[in-house]
Chains A and B, each alone.
Chain A
């Protein structure tokens, strides 16, 4: 394992030091995602291991969080969509959106079921729906980015980083799954 090292491969041309590997290696020389995230020591590798593990746990948690938020969106949805949903939706969004976006979402993010079911007044209901929907879209954007970033981390073929992703995914799933809201989900998020 230690014999295959890019440093020993090409000492003349250091710009080839980060030649992409095509197989897994154990090495403490790795560059992850950004130029400044260049690891060259064992301590740095351990730190990167922890960071990647936490990012993967965060990814798994955000998936459950998104699923629970989607369940709440369904609860928040007005009962009669054709009369209540379409026309006031746009006006509510234009007027009320920048008022307070955090007030609804901050309390206990993983178990929205504990909060009481929102009152079904039309204006506040559509307002809440719009807020949750916007936040869900933002969360989805972050999730896509994080998912691809983790894919790129794995693609460095660094075995320690790969183990961090797998362990983080397992840990995140193990921790987050009990918080999944109990409602029938016909789709996978």
Chain B
């Protein structure tokens, strides 16, 4: 709780406020220590792309889910017969939902999304201002690049209702 005086003051400093610095910044893993400006630039780009990927993943998961839901709903529509009493087939499609390929794929993407989001949180927790800016800017850019698709998809589903 009360350790002795440190030999090197800035060696393992645990920052508790935002700071600009590119020396001895540990990034998520033990071997991954930033010591030069070039390495910080690379880390900035990597974190930026990670945040961008996170936004893209989030939005494409939404649209994928909506697509699979639409297809399930479409499958559960009764076949246009003379009287139209073929509702037994819909139960089969709903029962297969747990083991269906889209659901497994969604679960896989969900795992990636959780891992990436925790990584981004931990990167922000370094209090390094460059990396924090990379997280926020990557999220904004990802939103800019991917969310117009979301607007279109929402528009289509709204028309479907």
A-side residues, CB < 8 A to B, are 9-10, 12-13, 15-16, 18-20, 31, 33-35, 37, 70, 73-74, 77, 81, 133-134, 136-138, 140-142, 144-145, 148, 151-152, 155-156, 183-184, 186-187
Q: State A116–B4 Cα separation when bound (angstroms).
A: 68
Chain B stretch 1-27: residues in CB contact (< 8 A) with chain A: 1-6, 9, 14, 16-19
A33 pairs with B136, CB closer than 8 A: no
B16 pairs with A12, CB closer than 8 A: no
Which residues in A have their C-beta under 8 angstroms from that of B158? Answer: 74, 183-184
User: Which 3 A-B pairs give the minimum distances between C-beta atoms?
Assistant: A141-B140, A137-B144, A140-B143
B136 pairs with A144, CB closer than 8 A: yes
Our pick among B16, B18, B51, B148 for the contact of A133 (Cβ within 8 Å) is B148
Which residues in A have their C-beta under 8 angstroms from that of B17? Answer: 31, 33-35, 37
B16 pairs with A31, CB closer than 8 A: yes
Which residues in A have their C-beta under 8 angstroms from that of B125? Answer: 152, 155
The verdict on A34 contacting B140 (CB below 8 Å), with A148-B135, A152-B124 known, is: no
B132 pairs with A10, CB closer than 8 A: no
Chain B stretch 143-159: residues in CB contact (< 8 A) with chain A: 143-144, 147-148, 150-152, 154-155, 157-158
Chain B stretch 95-139: residues in CB contact (< 8 A) with chain A: 121, 124-125, 127, 132, 135-137, 139
Which residues in A have their C-beta under 8 angstroms from that of B124? Answer: 148, 151-152
Which residues in B have their C-beta under 8 angstroms from that of A33? Answer: 17-18
In the complex formed, the residue of A with least CB distance to B156 is A81
A136 pairs with B147, CB closer than 8 A: yes
A137 pairs with B151, CB closer than 8 A: no
A74 pairs with B155, CB closer than 8 A: yes
Could you jot down 20 A-B contacts, CB within 8 Å?
Answer: A9-B1, A10-B2, A15-B9, A31-B16, A35-B17, A77-B152, A133-B144, A137-B141, A137-B143, A140-B140, A141-B140, A141-B143, A142-B136, A144-B135, A144-B140, A152-B125, A156-B16, A183-B158, A186-B62, A186-B154
Which residues in A have their C-beta under 8 angstroms from that of B157? Answer: 186
Our pick among B5, B6, B137, B155 for the contact of A77 (Cβ within 8 Å) is B155
